[in-house]
Structure 1
Amino acid sequence: MPSMTVLSTTAVPDHIRGALTRWMTEPAPGLYVGTLSARVRDELWRVVSASMGEGAAVLIHPEANEQGYALLTAGERRRIPIDFDGLTLVAFRPEEFMEDVEAPF
């Protein structure tokens, strides 16, 4: 069953932006919203996360958990999602460690 999906991108290649606009609406630069099936959503996320380059992306979609949504990230980000007893919380990495530490997701 299709469900609301939100994808936010920063500095992604143009061909990724084009692929996303085939399936989703871009109401603001780098912000994509659409009603997608799980199969289409997962395939788009696979393409986006594999083609990140210097960019970053965050995907939020409904999920059967306590929060009611799942949060996925790709690329280098200062904010990283952390699972805390089944809840996804967002932690900040200190800027001086950004180059030395890899994100867990």
Structure 2
Amino acid sequence: MPSMTVLSTTAIPDHVRGALTRWMTEPAPGLYVGTLSARVRDELWRVVSASVGSGAAVLVHPDANEQGYTLHTAGERRRTPVDFDGLTLVAFRPEELLGTADPPF
């Protein structure tokens, strides 16, 4: 069943932006909103996360969990989602640790 999906991007290639606008509306630069099936959503996320390069992307979609949604990220971001006993919380990575493989928490 299709569900509301929100995708926020920063500095992604133009061809990826074009692919996203075929399926979603872009109400603000880099912000895409649409009602997608899980199959289309997962395929779009695969394309975005594979080509994010030096940019970043965040995908939020409804899910059957305590919070009611799932959060996915790709690329280098200061804000990092952390699973805390089944809840996704957002931790801030210190600026001097940006570019390291794993956050210290």
TM-score by length of 2: 0.96
Give the gaps of 5 or more residues in structure 2.
none
| Partner Cα distance (1:42, 1:103) in 2 | 25
1:8 aligned partner? 8
Give matches, 1:58-69, under 5 Å.
Answer: 58-69=58-69
Contact 1:58 1:74 in 2 (8 A): yes
Once the two structures are aligned, what percentage of the paired residues are identical?
84
Counterparts in 2 of 1:69-84, with a 5 A limit? 69-84=69-84
Q: Corresponding residue for 2:41?
A: 41
- Cα deviation 1:24-63 (Å, max 9, x = unaligned): 0000000000000000000000000000111100000000
Q: Which runs of 4+ in 1 moved over 6 A?
A: none
1:103 to partner: Cα distance: 5.1
Give distance in 2, aligned partners of 1:10 and 1:95: 18
The residue matched to 1:35 in structure 2 has which SS? strand
1:46-87 Cα shifts (integer Å, max 9, x gaps): 000000111100000000000000000000000000000000
Unaligned runs of 5+ in 1: none
Please report the RMSD computed on the Cα atoms of aligned residues, expressed in angstroms.
1.0
SS for the counterpart of 1:89 is strand
1:57 matched to 2:81: no
| Superposition map of 1:86-101 within 5 A | 86-99=86-99, 101=100
TM-score, length-scaled by structure 1: 0.96
**How far is 1:102 from its partner?**
2.0
For 1:93 and 1:41, how far apart are their aligned partners in 2?
Answer: 28
Partner of 2:22: 22
